[in-house]
Amino acid sequence: MRYLMMVMGDKDYETGLPPSPELITGMARLTDEMTQAGVLLAAEGLQPSSQGMRLKVTRGALAVTDGPFTETKEMIGGYAIVQASSKAEALELANRFVEVHRQAGITELDMEIRPLLDPGMCGPAST
């Protein structure tokens, strides 16, 4: 099963402060190891919400809002998609990401892990 891991950004992330060299080095090493092991399908950091936009449909009308999104408390700072045989294995893989952050001196971190829908669960694609 594929799992999406979302690392929440902090105030430094939202101001556009780049990650520390220790975090960049640690993440590069971890992503190489996990890619070679065949468990990491994708992983990237995201730019701050000031560089993004939101789309919202209300009563059929589309509204586009440019960032930053100060009213949102949990901004996603980065993500990874992993292939794991179980929820326990997904947690083990997530802990490896957390450990890289700890080793880089990050003492506060929030991460959400959610299974992705299998494409077959959505029904046949129309042509």
Question: The domain that contains 10 carries what CATH number?
Answer: 3.30.70.1060
Q: For the whole model, what pTM was predicted?
A: 0.86
Give residue 32's domain range.
2-117
Per-residue pLDDT of the chain (127 residues; tens, 9 = 90+): 999 999 998 888 888 888 999 999 999 999 999 999 999 999 999 999 899 999 999 999 999 999 888 766 678 999 999 999 999 999 999 999 999 999 999 999 999 999 999 877 766 665 5
- Does residue 109 lie within any of the structural domains? yes
CB 109 within 8 A of CB 101: yes
The candidate with the shortest Cα–Cα distance to 74, out of 107, 108, 115, 117, is 108
Say if 47 falls within a structural domain.
yes
Residues 59 and 90: their CA atoms lie apart, in Å, by 39
59 falls within a domain:
yes
The angle that helices 21-36 and 87-103 make with each other, rounded to 10 degrees, is: 150
- Count of structural domains within the chain: 1
Q: Tokens 């190891």 sit at which residue?
A: 33
> Does residue 123 belong to any structural domain of this protein?
no
The answer to the question of residue 124 being in a domain is: no
